[in-house]
Structure 1
């Protein structure tokens, strides 16, 4: 698909790893450049469900409520492992940021697309791909919407000029 689409990419072999922070270090890039892929189930009313492949930067948290609102759903949860792997076509930790199943809508947070290159496991834990972001958007044709949770304020951070005693 990448070759046929004329994409600019590199294949990176590394020790098997599926955790975003650790595989990012193995690949030699910042965690924010990792495409973290999560399969989410959204109930639409009582009888219908839709599935979303939510793709966010590796250093971000998915905002489930934003996904629910985007699809005008009534309930949202992470899909169970079996259903996620069936829809994604790969095992947990190796999910690609592409949807090849019409039942799985691809939604990407715009913050991931601000970087020139994104990284993701290539459907296996010991190989990754670095892909030019503009080629990713052209080939994947994702729905782009804000789905990243706001970072919580750090309750421990205190300005340097504040005396906290001691």
Structure 2
């Protein structure tokens, strides 16, 4: 399946979920941009509102787990904290093949929702403490969603884990 078709399927699944759950959201169409700073400017949102999605793998101590780790786009991930939270020794970013298999999206287009049973969703709480809305690419590099923070938490139900660098 081509990247465009797969990303479109993820986008449609996301929009269907948000609509069915009566979320307060809007879709913004824009040029395909992969950098957080540039896309936040195009969206007209603060960089800290951006929900950066990292597909990670945690290994060691008998742990082998894939994590969809969400944090504010103006922060950096501390993967050692993430590994420790899950009882592993090491965490790293997943390979492009793993990202494709687990999200059906290209890097930069992954929404902060897990639609795969083997992809555990966690989010750093800072993302939800500063703004009433969060923003993220919605399965496609050229489409973003800006949505109510409380609706995101209600619908996605991420495990809240502090894993940003201090």
What TM-score does the superposition give when structure 2 sets the normalisation length?
0.87
Between the aligned partners of 2:121 and 2:55, the Cα distance in structure 1 is 9
Partner Cα separation in structure 2 for residue 87 and residue 72 of structure 1: 21
Matched, 1:39 2:26: no
Which residue of the partner structure matches residue 141 of structure 1? 157
**Structure 2 stretches lacking a partner, 5+ long:** 1-16
Match in the other structure for 2:37: 21
In the TM superposition, structure 1's runs of 4+ consecutive aligned residues that sit over 6 Å from their partners are: none
Give runs of aligned pairs for residues 1-150 of structure 1, distance below 5 A.
Answer: 1-45=17-61, 48-114=63-129, 115-150=131-166
Q: Which structure has the bigger radius of gyration?
A: 1
Superposition TM-score, scaled by structure 1 size: 0.87
Aligned residues: 149
Q: Please tell me whether the aligned partners of residues 52 and 72 of structure 2 are also in contact (alpha carbons under 8 angstroms).
A: yes
Tell me: higher relative CO, structure 1 or 2? Use CA pairs within 8 A at least 6 residues apart.
2
Q: Which has the higher helix share?
A: 2
Q: Secondary structure at the match of 1:26?
A: helix
Task: Tell me, yes or no, if the aligned pair for 2:55 and 2:68 is still in contact at 8 Å.
Answer: yes
Root mean square deviation, CA, Å:
1.0
Deviation track 1:59-114 (CA, whole Å, cap 9, x = no partner) reads: 10011011001101022111111101211221111001000111110000000011
